[in-house]
Homo-oligomer: A and B are copies of this chain.
Amino acid sequence: MNLPNHVTIIEVGPRDGLQNEKNFVPTDVKINFIQALKRSGIQEMELTSFVSPKWVPQMSDAGDIVQATLGGGRDIVLSPNRKGIDRVYETNCKAVAIFVGVSDQFNKKNINKTTAEALEELAPIITELKERQYFVRACISTAFYCPYQGKVSLVDTINLCKSFANLGVDELSVADTIGMANPREVYDLFSFLKKELPNILITAHFHDTRKMALANVFASLQAGIDRFDTSVGGLGGCPFAPGATGNVATEDVVNMLEKMGISTGVDLSKLMEALDIVEPHISRPIQTGYHTLHKLEQTTQH
């Protein structure tokens, strides 16, 4: 079994995770949280999101977050459009995530554009970002299934990935947005993408809605993927399935990989310290495997 020796974790808790949290997490808590994540060994992270404070009040402190936490690794901010990008230019952040779904129906519901229209709007922004030497991460939502359209065509996903690659993005984060992909589909898509796009970073992004996330991580490893988006504590819900779990948990991915002899550079005990900072502000209980056992151990010891 041919598996990588090292995997890079892209922590998305502070952005993708908190963006789905209904309670406003105070800015200083977010800053402490991000700094603690960095101390745990996280080298790449989505810090925050430059989106409309009206629509996403949770991210209204994006400027302050970036100013206070920048440095020590690849710090990424998400920005959905021109307005957001202009706000990024006011900061010292040099890595930007943009996003689009493969599914037309998903994009229509989210940004009131078809996939082609979204790509058309993003193309000049990507060109500009690359001219300014930004790191550009393209987040590809609904790469397998769409909550409105159902199964998404593999060909559509591959074509969209190629379009972004041709535009010069540095990274594709390919997401199973509603946690419905199975390991066979995951292996097939990622094997193909790794072969077709050898010169671009390809990252897999899974949700644990149907408990298949770690199976999909394992399938991805076999397809040559060595980068995963994860969220500490599994922070982040799926807006289309309230009650269902959200992002795959950083601690569960790191635990599995390290136990398999695959290094991540992340210290699990320090990672749990980071989670402790934000947990009191989160409205849902943290139910990840590693965190549950970790808390149990602490209770037993004290």
Contact = CB atoms under 8 A, between A and B. Distances in A.
A219 to B, nearest CB: 7
B252 A210 contact: yes
A3 interface: yes
Interface in A162-187: 179-180, 182-185, 187
B211 A242 contact: no
Interface string A275-296: 0000000000001111011001
Within the oligomer, what is the number of copies of this chain? 2
Interface residues of A, number: 39
Given A3-B184, A219-B218, A256-B183, A296 B210 contact: no
B243 A292 contact: yes
Given A218-B183, A243-B292, A211 B213 contact: yes
A1 interface: yes
A132 interface: no
Contacts of A3: 184
Interface in A257-290: 259-261, 287-290
A11 interface: no
Contacts of A180: 259
Contact of A210 (B242, B243, B256): B256
